[in-house]
Structure 1
Amino acid sequence: MKGAVAAAIAILAVISLVAHQGQAVTCGQVDAALVPCISYLAGHGGDSPSPACCSGVKAVKNMAQTTADKRACCSCVKAAANRYADLKDAAAQSLPTKCGVQMDIPVSRTVDCDK
């Protein structure tokens, strides 16, 4: 019985987190999702991003459902890209495609997130 109650509470907690994530995207969430991509984006991860990186790219796409969320994600991605001097622009631009994700958010240092 205790296991069923614990499972129900865990399910409710996950649902609550998912519901709240859609309300406001933070740079902490975006950064955490894309951390596994750093070595690939710096040119140290081979020709393909890792499965963990692609999971992060998909997570960012799922965070960016509204126009406001897309702008917030874009600003976070742009800020993160500017923190890494060795980020390879070609790797950044190809990241969504290599992960099989259609993104409205470019990974770029120079993107205008208001458009």
Structure 2
Amino acid sequence: MAKVAALCVMAIMLSIALVMVKPTHAITCMDVDVALEPCIPYLVGQAPDPTKACCDGILHLKNLATTTLDRRAACTCMKAAASHLPGLKDSTVSALPQKCNAPLPYPISTSVDCTK
């Protein structure tokens, strides 16, 4: 009987632990592409300022990329996307988070080292 009670207590503790574990976001390049797509006109100099949709995307990325691995993945995806945008200005890329009032805890740039 004591073994059954101990197993029940362990099962309950395991259940509680599983519920309390914070799910992780595995950020994908699709997440990054969708979030940044509205920013393209600003980033290539076709618009003087980022749109609200662009700034919402930056804020969404900021909220998604909460772990070091997520931030590295987002960085790598941003760099990959940037390589396909002719006319991209690094100064506009770097200024985007501040323009959107959504400062990121890491720099964004076409030349940033995503491993750091």
Q: How does 1:74-93 map to 2 (within 5 A)?
A: 74-93=75-94
Q: Aligned partners of 1:29, 1:105: CA distance in 2, in Å?
A: 18
Task: Extract unaligned runs of 5+ from structure 2.
Answer: 1-21
Q: 1:106 to 1:78 in 2, by over 3 A?
A: farther
Q: How many residues align?
A: 95
Question: What is the RMSD of the two structures over their aligned residues, measured on CA atoms?
Answer: 1.4
Q: How does 1:37-76 map to 2 (within 5 A)?
A: 37-46=39-48, 48-76=49-77
Per-residue deviation, 1:109: 1.9
Q: Aligned partners of 2:86, 2:109: CA distance in 1, in Å?
A: 12
Residue equivalent to 1:34: 36
- Structure 1 residue runs of 4 or more that deviate by more than 4 Å after TM superposition: none
In the superposition, the TM-score normalised over structure 1's length comes to: 0.77
In the superposition, the TM-score normalised over structure 2's length comes to: 0.76
Task: Extract unaligned runs of 5+ from structure 1.
Answer: 1-18
Residue equivalent to 2:111: 110
Percent identity, aligned pairs only?
Answer: 47
